[in-house]
Each structure stands twice: as structure tokens, then as C-alpha cells.
Amino acid sequence: MPSAEMRITIPDRIWIGELSREYPDAVFEILTAFPKEMGGVALTEIRHSNIGAVMQTMGSYDDVTNIDLLQRTDDSVLAQFETSSPILLFPVREAGTPLELPFTVADGVVDWEITASRERLSLLADQLREFEISFEVQSVTHRIETTQLLSEKQTALVQRAIELGYYDTPRQATLTELAADVDLAKSTCSETLHRAEEKIIKQFATSAGNIETERALSTGE
């Protein structure tokens, strides 16, 4: 399944965009966030050298309806806040794409990592445009569930085939010669190579699809 890294530029009309630009050195780490029927709730850790001023400004926004301070030091707070207008959450909710948490807001910018189908990622991009939130796709990758693409045996065989020139043009070693070199029956060698090549080709096709997904997200096609 594709995993997209997106950089979101938060408009000033969204209070946290304005707040984080007013205090560009402040870091807002969103630990949890979820929409409610009326508004949204988030748990955040905020770090800044003048944390009192940041919190006072945050509390002055009409869209911030409640702040509960859970922990405080000289330069940081852990707080739960409620907002009547969680606009950043709306595109995610409408597209049905879960956010990877935590994520950090700093100087009006937030980096998101989202794992979803290509269709839902495209829907998220459409929703961000609908809410007039600009974004840039940093990368699209495909998460591999297995820890390694090839087995140890397949990896060793492919590496030896490359060393002997089996994949050269013109070919420097035949399948028979490769099988003899690695002490395998020719049929076993052929089957092992075929399975390894199948995985490599499918991974290549997935990577090509990720490039197409990234292009589609960026262009809206």
C-alpha cells in the first residue's frame, strides 16, 4: 500500500497557522487528534523559550474553546485543547485517510505521513484543494510487509548470477554453468531464479506506480 509524505502549508486563516508563524521558533507536536461532532480535540506538546506568551496567544483565539494544561516546565507544556474549527482534520476525515501520529507543526508548516490506497490519497489531495490548503508531495513509497524482498537463498543466487555474467548482454554464463557453479540442479536453479526475478519485477512495477501516484497527487489528475 502506498505511503505518502506530504508537506502542508497551513493558511493564516487557520489559527494554528497564524500562531505558529507568530512564534516561528515554537514547536507544536500533535500527539493525538480527532474530530468531534462539533469541533475537535487534540493532545499536544508545545516547546518555546517564552511558553507563557505562546499559551496566552493560543487562548486568545475564538476557535480555541478550551485548554487544559496537563504538565508544564519552563519551556514546554503538555496540553489538551478543543477547537471549534479543526480545519486540518476535515480533509483527512472526508478522505478516510488516517494520519501517522505524532506530527509536528512549526512556522506554519506540517509534515504528514499517510498510508492509504492510491484512490484515498488522491481523494485527500482533492479535499485539501477544496479547503484551499496548499501542499507538496515529498515522496510516495510502497510499504513492504516482509522484512526482505528476497530470501537469503534467492539473494545469493542472483548475486552469483550477476558475478558470472548471466545477465550480461551477450550472456557470459549459461543457466547450466550457473547451476553447476552453485551446486544446484538446473531445474532448481531455474525455478529459484524465476521466483526471485518475479519479486524484483513486481517491486519495480510498484515503484513505477508510486511515481505515477505522486504525479497524480501533485497535479490532481
Tell me how far apart the alpha carbons of residues 99 and 146 are, in angstroms, rounded to a whole number. 22
The domain containing residue 55 runs over which residues? 2-142
Strand order of the β-sheet with 134-142 is 64-72, 76-83, 39-47, 27-36, 103-106, 109-115, 2-9, 134-142
What is the count of structural domains for the chain? 2
- Between 136 and 2, residue with greater pLDDT: 136
- Distance from the Cα of residue 15 to its chain's centroid: 24
Identify the pLDDT of residue 187: 92
Residues 95 and 27 grouped into a single domain = yes
Residues 125 and 158 grouped into a single domain = no
Could you tell me if 95 and 127 are in contact, meaning their C-beta atoms sit under 8 angstroms apart? yes
* Global pTM value: 0.64
Could you tell me if 30 and 45 are in contact, meaning their C-beta atoms sit under 8 angstroms apart? no
Is it the case that residue 62 has pLDDT exceeding 80?
yes
Which of the given ranges, 20-24, 37-41, 93-97, has the highest pLDDT on average?
20-24
Q: For residue 167, how many other CB atoms are within 10 A of its CB?
A: 13
Is residue 147 one of the residues assigned to a domain? no
Residues 110 and 52 grouped into a single domain = yes
- Distance from the Cα of residue 137 to its chain's centroid: 10
Residues 121 and 160 grouped into a single domain = no
pLDDT tens for each residue of 141-162:
765 444 467 888 998 999 999 9
The kind and range of the H/E element at 184 are none
- Between 90 and 24, residue with greater pLDDT: 24
